[in-house]
């Protein structure tokens, strides 16, 4: 496939993915493309999400789309339905054709769906040092209702257990116990692709 390899970044909510990505995007503007592929979801949305990270729809429409083959994968997590659009591959290829590194921030299920596609991405997982630290980070956000908070913790436990049970699932697992060190590891993992893009721009 032509163009730089895409990057699939996964990890539980509160692990620090977004913070690391913002820093990366700032340092390598014009090289990376953070790709929001509008995961279809049936859950309550937060301010500013609709049409960016997620596209919100009804459960009936989600189920209809699943039957019609509109998703390359779908899952129900913590009572919420999620699906990944079948147009994802062509959208990523469009980004590659622009000589940009396409970065996808996805959950563990989204990552497994992407593994079914012929994209040859770099798989990276961002993990917290412990459940205790993750719980504190989520509480400090003060953005979740109690039931949603507990569901996120349960999803994080599942995510962290999967990492330990399937060590080859990702090309790199970064424990984000120090933001600067985590960023160095992330940047190092992507530097070969970053350099290719920069060289081609000269």
In a domain, 48, yes or no: yes
Alpha-carbon torsion 149, 155, 160, 161, what sign?
positive
State the pLDDT at residue 90. 74
Prediction pTM value = 0.74
**Token pair for residue 9?**
């970044």
SS3 state of residue 170:
coil
Q: How far separated are the first and last CA of the chain, in Å rounded? A: 22
23 tagged catalytic: no
Per-residue pLDDT band for 140 (boundaries 50, 70, 90) equals: confident
From 5, 23, 139, 152, active-site residue: 152
Residues 137, 14: Cα–Cα separation, whole Å: 6
Comparing 144 with 36, the larger pLDDT belongs to 144
Q: What Cα–Cα distance (Å) separates residue 82 from each residue in 48, 76, 79, 114, 138?
A: 18, 6, 10, 14, 21
Sheet with 39-42, edge to edge strand ranges: 54-56, 39-42, 80-85, 71-77
In the predicted model, is pLDDT for residue 178 greater than 70? Answer: yes
Domain membership of residue 17 as a residue range: 7-201
Determine whether 152 is an active site residue.
yes
1 falls within a domain: no
Q: How many domains does the chain have?
A: 1
* 147 lies in some domain: yes
Choosing from 46, 59, 139, 157, the catalytic residue is 46
124 forms beta bridges with: 9, 172
For 80-137, write each residue's pLDDT tens digit: 555 555 566 777 888 888 999 989 888 777 787 788 778 899 999 999 999 899 888 8
Supply the pLDDT for residue 165: 78
Cα–Cα dist 82/42, whole Å: 7
Q: What is the CATH classification number for the domain harbouring 18?
A: 3.40.50.300
Q: Is residue 116 part of a domain?
A: yes
Q: Which of the residues 59, 139, 141, 157 is marked catalytic?
A: 141
Specify if 2 maps to a domain: no
The pLDDT value given to residue 86: 53
Task: Tell how strand 80-85 and strand 71-77 pair up.
Answer: antiparallel
20 occurs within a structural domain: yes
């Amino acid at each position: 496939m032509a163009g730089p390899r895409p990057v699939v970044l996964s990890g539980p909510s509160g692990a620090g993915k977004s913070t690391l990505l913002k820093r990366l995007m700032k340092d390598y503007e014009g090289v990376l493309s953070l790709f929001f592929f509008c995961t279809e979801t049936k859950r309550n949305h937060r301010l500013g999400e609709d049409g960016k990270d997620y596209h919100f729809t009804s459960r009936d429409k989600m189920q209809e789309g699943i039957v019609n083959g509109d998703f390359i994968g779908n899952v129900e997590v913590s009572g919420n339905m999620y699906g990944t659009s079948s147009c994802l591959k062509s959208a990523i290829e469009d980004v590659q054709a622009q000589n940009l590194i396409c970065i996808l921030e996805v959950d563990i299920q989204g990552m497994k769906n992407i593994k079914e596609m012929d994209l040859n991405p770099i798989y990276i997982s961002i993990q917290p040092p412990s459940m205790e630290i993750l719980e504190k980070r989520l509480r400090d956000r003060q953005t979740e209702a109690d039931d949603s908070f507990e569901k996120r913790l349960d999803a994080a436990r599942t995510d962290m257990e999967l990492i330990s049970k399937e060590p080859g699932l990702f090309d790199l697992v970064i424990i984000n116990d120090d933001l600067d060190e985590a960023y160095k590891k992330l940047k190092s993992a992507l530097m070969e692709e970053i350099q290719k893009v920069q060289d081609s721009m000269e």
